[in-house]
Amino acid sequence: MDKIVSINDLSFRYPQSDSYVLNNINLEVKKGEFIGLAGKSGCGKSTLLYHLCGIIPHAVNGHKEGKVEVFGLDTVKHEIPELSTHVGMVFQNPEVQLFSVTVEDEVAFIAENLNYSVEKIKKCLDFSLDAVGIDDLRERYPFELSGGEKQRVAIASAISVKPEVLVLDEPTSELDSHGTEMVLEVLHRLNQAGMTIILAEHHLDEVACYLDRLIVMDDGRIIADDEPRTIFQDRIFESIGLRPPQTVEMGLRLGSSKLPLSVNEALDIFNTIPTITRGIVNQKVQGEEIVEIDRIVEIKDLNFLYGDKKVLRSVNLSINKGEMVGLLGPNGSGKTTLALLMMGLLKPDQGLVRVDGLDPQKDRKKLVHRVGFLFQNPEHQLFCDSVYSELTYGFEGGEDGFEDQEVIDEVINRMGLEKFKNNHPLTLSRGERQRVATATALVKKPEIMIIDEPTTGQDWYHVSSFMNLVQKLNQEGVTIILITHDMRVAAEYCQRLVVMRDGSILLDGDTRSVFSEIDILREADLKPTPLTEISLKVGIKPPLLKLNEIKIGEKNDIQ
Amino acid sequence: MIEYVNSNSPLHRLDPRSKIIFSFSIMLAAILTSSYIILASLIIISIIIWIMADVPIKKLKPIFLVLFTFVLMGTLTQAVFYTDRTNYTGPVTVLFNLLPYNVPVIGSLPVTVEGLMYGVVFSMRMVVIILAPVIIPFTTHPSDMILVLREMRFPEWMILLITMSIRFIPLTFQNFYTIRNAQKLRKIKTGFHDLMLLMETLLITSLKTSKQMALSLETKAFGYSSKRTSLKTIKFGKKDVIFSAFSLTVLGIVLINTGAVYG
């Protein structure tokens, strides 16, 4: 195969930093490869991708050593527009890469900027819309589309001038399972058509089977570059605090010689090893028992309209004290609206909402001190000039100021924020910001925590640290309502799941029984974890949720 | 509140420039004339154009609310204050007083026949001034408006600024409400200081967003050349010429009529 990208001895540091983000990177990419780029947040993945499309050095400054060539073009000597005909770039957030008022205009944007003839622009447009399969969206406003559709428009725009390489920086991290599936299907199709794909991604469950090569980075260095199976076999992911796709983990647990990268491959392995299959099939699954205690949230016949649109339709929901409930559903299903109604920030059009016995509309003052709310983006809930003042925000002038001080100190210690106490919250890393945001809720010693999409765009190391903390809070008696798209998090941490679609509750029950209803989940555009899917396919119902539930044994040993 | 309504009405098929000519002509005519008959005719013309535009009546609800407010406030204030002006020298025929006794400074607020008549003219004028131009956003796709700007040789950066603001402003508002909600969830009574903190966070997050947008624009070859081709073009056709001629004729008639009145 032809070499199309060549990186030699590349090191880079940003102007304001003394440490190098990239350290002596050497890499070659061949035509038609589908390459995955993995690593913890801040390991240098995005910086490396910026070098490929010329953002570095042309739009972002820093100290660079080494050489990057794309199609023989030195990225230092050739400007971004010239490189854009060879390398298309797609960013994490679709919102920041759509500039036009119709999808058609958006997809034609690069070709128009490059001053192509109208005939050539039309050809680019037709090629791109067809390749990505969004011809039906041609006349739509890009900002009215779903997350998955927006990201497909961004991909169509990036490939409109037919670049040979498409570079994507975590394009699915802000999407629900349906959106993720749509985007990955498009990438697979483009790769099949001959396009080289370089994809930085945290969650490889869906994409591992498409990859020709997997590059793992840590602390600015490439620590592994090989065929995915070899990397997973060598336990590289685990060594840096990440976790491989769940099918791989299943294969490792079952001692499979060829690690499965997809659900079908995992199924094939089970079918070829009958004793193991029987072991799983016959394993007795112990369902978690939910003991009814006090009802802490009570919602009856709740309806909410936003303008003419019915966002919630006759929602009925009770949550018991001490439960950890996952609220699942595609984007726009009404999850966050429901949470805001529980906090009294929205007024119901009809129905009853009671939280801890209080009417959120009338008793918001009391409720604010009993319920902690964490938004998806911690940046939106940090507005003071130091971590300490952030934690005291809302307590100023309180009668029990001294007691609050003790609580604040305790929370600072618990969240490991001592050394950041005087730092501006927005100068911290994403994980640290999330800890500060959590601390702002914990200083109230809340009885309930509502957490909106805490794992978006984060690697497993940060996800597990945060979720273990949430689980500990739950064990201490805090009721947790977790809004999430992450099925593995829902399966492994929640005792109960509520599935929403179009403002209604489709399913409500303990985690196992909800995951048993795979058809209804599909109706809500949700895809269960590979383990759940496989266990259902081999006949385990209710399905397995955690890897440690897989027991290997002889047929007769198992009940 | 006002957004493009997808349709294939005769108004939708017109070049945006002919709709701009119509709006300006009708607005200018309404400003120049004080004749009830002409103003009533202009309102009728605007209503006919609205009917031709095939915009669902529910979309017009906010427009009606604005119109109603203007008509009510305009008629009332002019009815009371028109003859109160220091330079008013005409007759003053009091119909009735709004207040039963004299209040210092504001008096008894008399409603005069002359004020009421002027109030009606003022309100009719406001109706025309509001009705005529809002037809443009309802019947013109934003991408066609962008093409008009391009045809008018607006710089590309300015056009991009306008298109981005269509997206960026709602996004900023969305962030504003999220941050405000986050504050409300931690503090019962928020004041000016909290608003300042909110604005600071909003500014930082908006700057981050704009930085990401700038990087994305770079990869899309924006600003590569001073020349830029456009996939779509707009054409000022025969129907546009007829519609514009009609608009200018209406303006001409009003000008002649106004000239005759003042002459």
Tens digit of pLDDT for each residue in B121-157?
989 999 999 889 988 988 988 878 888 888 888 887 8
**Cβ-based contacts of B225 with chain A (< 8 Å):** 113-115
CB-based contact A420:A387 (threshold 8 Å):
yes
Considering only CB atoms, A368 lies closest to which of B186, B212, B227, namely: B186
Domain locations along chain B: 16-140+235-262, 147-219
* pLDDT of residue A276 exceeding 60: no
* Separation between Cα atoms, residue A534 and residue A251, nearest integer Å: 12
- Residue A344, pLDDT > 60, answer yes
Residue A504, Cβ density class (10 Å: 0-12 exposed, 13-18 middle, ≥19 buried) = middle
Report the pLDDT value the prediction gives residue A66, as an integer from 0 to 100.
95
Distance between CA A56 and CA A74 in Å, rounded? 12
Query: Which of B141, B143, B221 has its CB closest to that of A113?
Result: B221
Site of tokens 């995955």: A36
A104-161 pLDDT tens trace: 999 999 999 999 999 999 999 999 999 888 898 998 888 788 888 899 999 999 999 9
Compute the residue count for chain A. 559
- As a residue count, chain B comes to 263
- Within 10 angstroms of residue A259's Cβ, the number of other Cβ atoms is 24
In CATH terms, the fold of domain A3-244 is Rossmann fold (3.40.50)
Contacts of B215 in chain A (CB under 8 A): 50, 55, 59-60, 91
Would you say the ipTM is above 0.85?
no
Task: Judge contact between B88 and B82, C-beta under 8 A.
Answer: yes
Amino acid of residue A130: D
CATH architecture of A311-529: 3-Layer(aba) Sandwich (3.40)
- Tokens, residue A288: 């978690």
How many Cβ atoms sit within 10 Å of the Cβ of residue B190?
15
Mean pLDDT computed over B1-19: 84
The residue-averaged pLDDT of A430-452 equals 88
CB A523 within 8 A of CB A506: yes
Residues of chain A with C-beta less than 8 angstroms from the C-beta of B5: none
Distance from CA of B85 to the nearest CA of A (A): 43
| Phi, psi angles (nearest 5°) of residue A36 | -100, 140
Exposure letters B3-39 (e unless 16+ CB within 10 A, then b): ebeeeeeebbebbbbbbbbbbebbbbbbebbbbeebb
Mutate to test the interface with A, among B168, B199, B209, B220 (most CBs of A within 10 A): B220
What span, in angstroms and rounded, lies between the C-alpha atoms of A485 and A466? 16
**Chain B closest-CA separation from residue A170 CA (Å):** 14
Shortest distance, CA A80 to any CA of chain B (angstroms)? 6
Torsion of CA A279, A285, A286, A290, to 10 degrees: 160
Return the residue in B192, B197, B203, B231 with the most chain A beta carbons within 10 A, the one to mutate for interface testing: B231
Evaluate whether A417 touches A387 at the Cβ level (below 8 Å): yes
Compare all CA atoms of chain A with the CA of B195 and give the residue at the minimum distance: A383
Show Cβ contacts of residue B263 under 8 Å, excluding neighbours closer than 6 positions: none
- Closest residue in B to A366 (Cα) is B188
d(CA B255, CA B64) in angstroms, rounded, equals 29
Assign A221 to helix, strand or coil: strand
* Contact residues, chain A, for B164 at CB < 8 Å: 99
Q: Which pLDDT belongs to residue A111?
A: 93
Confidence band of A553 (pLDDT split at 50, 70, 90): low
Interface A-B, measured as beta-carbon pairs within 8 A, has a size of: 156
Q: pLDDT at position A556, please?
A: 34
Question: If you search the block for the tokens 């399905």, which residue do you land on?
Answer: A543
Indicate if the pLDDT at residue A402 is higher than 60.
Answer: no
Q: Say what the pLDDT of residue A2 is.
A: 79
What is the tally of helices (H) and strands (E) in chain A?
22, 19
Helices (H), A305-396: 335-342, 364-368, 387-392
A74-to-A5, A12, A82, A447 alpha-carbon distances in Å: 10, 16, 11, 58
| DSSP single-letter state for residue A196 | E
The DSSP letter of residue A9 is E
**Of B170, B182, B229, which is closest to A375 when you measure between CB atoms?**
B182
Are A186 and A156 in contact by the 8 Å Cβ rule? The answer is no
Distance from CA of A198 to the nearest CA of B (A): 16
Cβ of B220 within 8 Å of Cβ of A112? The answer is no
Chain B touched by A210 (CB under 8 Å): no
Beta bridge partners of B180: none
* pLDDT range class, residue B49, cuts 50, 70, 90: very high
pLDDT at position A279: 44
Mutate which: A379, A390, A443, vs B, most B CBs within 10 A: A379
- Looking at residue A399, its pLDDT comes to 47
Distance CA A101, CA B141 (A): 9
**What's the pLDDT tens digit per position in A30-68?**
999 999 999 988 899 999 999 999 999 999 989 999 999
- Among the residue ranges A440-454, B144-158, B192-206, the one predicted with the least confidence is B144-158
Q: Which of A61, A80, A109, A481 to mutate to test the interface with B (most CBs of B within 10 A)?
A: A80
A window 312-341, beta carbon within 8 A of B: 340
- Burial tier of A511 (Cβ tally within 10 Å: 0-12, 13-18, 19+): buried
**A188 phi/psi in degrees, rounded to 5:** -60, -45
| 3-state helix/strand/coil string of A121-184 | HHHHHHHHHHHHCCHHHCCCCHHHCCHHHHHHHHHHHHCCCCCCEEEEECCCCCCCHHHHHHHH
- Spell out which residues of chain A touch residue B212, defining contact as CB-CB under 8 Å: 91, 93, 96
Residue B41 three-state SS: helix
Contacts of B209 in chain A (CB under 8 A): 95-96
Contact A91 B205 (CB under 8 A): no
Band (pLDDT 50/70/90 cuts) for residue A281 is very low
Under a CB-based contact definition with an 8 Å cutoff, are residues A501 and A152 in contact?
no
Contact yes or no for B81/B98 (Cβ under 8 A):
no
- The yes-or-no answer to whether A3-244 and A311-529 have a common fold is yes
Shortest alpha-carbon distance between residue A118 and chain B (Å): 5
In the predicted model, is pLDDT for residue A277 greater than 70? no
Alpha-carbon distance B2 to B9, whole Å? Answer: 18
The token pair at B207 is 């700057």
Q: What are phi and psi of A324, to 5 degrees?
A: -120, 105
**B194 contacts in A (CB within 8 Å)?**
383
Contact between residue A506 and residue A251 where contact means Cβ atoms under 8 Å apart: no
pLDDT for B232: 83
Contact B183 A383 (CB under 8 A): yes
Provide, as residue numbers in chain A, all residues whose Cβ is less than 8 Å from the Cβ of B207. Answer: none
In degrees rounded to 5, what are phi and psi of residue A537? -65, -30
Per-domain residue ranges of chain A: 3-244, 311-529
A95 Cβ under 8 Å from any chain B Cβ? yes
CB-based contact A58 B218, cutoff 8 Å: yes
E strands along B122-192, which residues? none
Please state, for a pLDDT cut of 70, what percent of chain B lies above it. Answer: 98
CB A541 within 8 A of CB A514: no
The span from the CA of A540 to the CA of B109, in Å, is 84
Confidence of residue B2 (pLDDT cuts 50, 70, 90): low
Residue A286 in this model has a pLDDT that exceeds 50 = no
The answer to whether the CB atoms of A102 and B143 lie below 8 A apart is yes
- Burial of residue A34, with CB atoms counted within 10 A of its CB: 0-12 exposed, 13-18 middle, 19 or more buried: buried
What whole-number distance in Å separates Cα of residue B250 and Cα of residue A285? 82
Per CB-CB distance under 8 Å, the chain A contacts of B183 are 383
A:345-384 residues touching chain B, CB 8 A cutoff? 345, 364-365, 368, 371, 373, 375, 377, 379-384
Residue A84: closest C-alpha in chain B: B219
Interface mutation target, options B141, B158, B219, B230, chain A, most CBs of A under 10 Å: B219
The two tokens of residue A477 are 């008696």
| Angle (CA) A377 A382 A385, round 5° | 150
Q: Which of B30, B231, B15 is nearest to B123 (CA)?
A: B30
Both structure tokens of A109:
């944007």
End-to-end CA distance of chain B: 43
Virtual torsion, Cα A237, A241, A246, A249, nearest 10 deg:
70
Res. A557: pLDDT tops 50: no
- The β-bridge relationship of strands A496-501 and A504-510 is antiparallel
Of A291-300, A333-342, B191-200, B203-212, minimum mean pLDDT range: A291-300
Rounded CA-CA distance B127/B120 in Å is: 11
Residue B42 structure tokens: 């202009």
Q: Is pLDDT at A284 greater than 70 in this prediction?
A: no
Q: What is the mean pLDDT of chain A?
A: 87
A33 beta partners = none
Q: Do A383 and B216 touch (CB under 8 A)?
A: no
Strands A63-70, A3-13: pairing is: antiparallel
pLDDT in tens, A472-528: 999 999 999 999 988 999 999 999 999 999 999 999 999 999 999 988 998 888 888
**Using the beta-carbon criterion (under 8 Å), do A109 and B220 form an inter-chain contact?**
yes
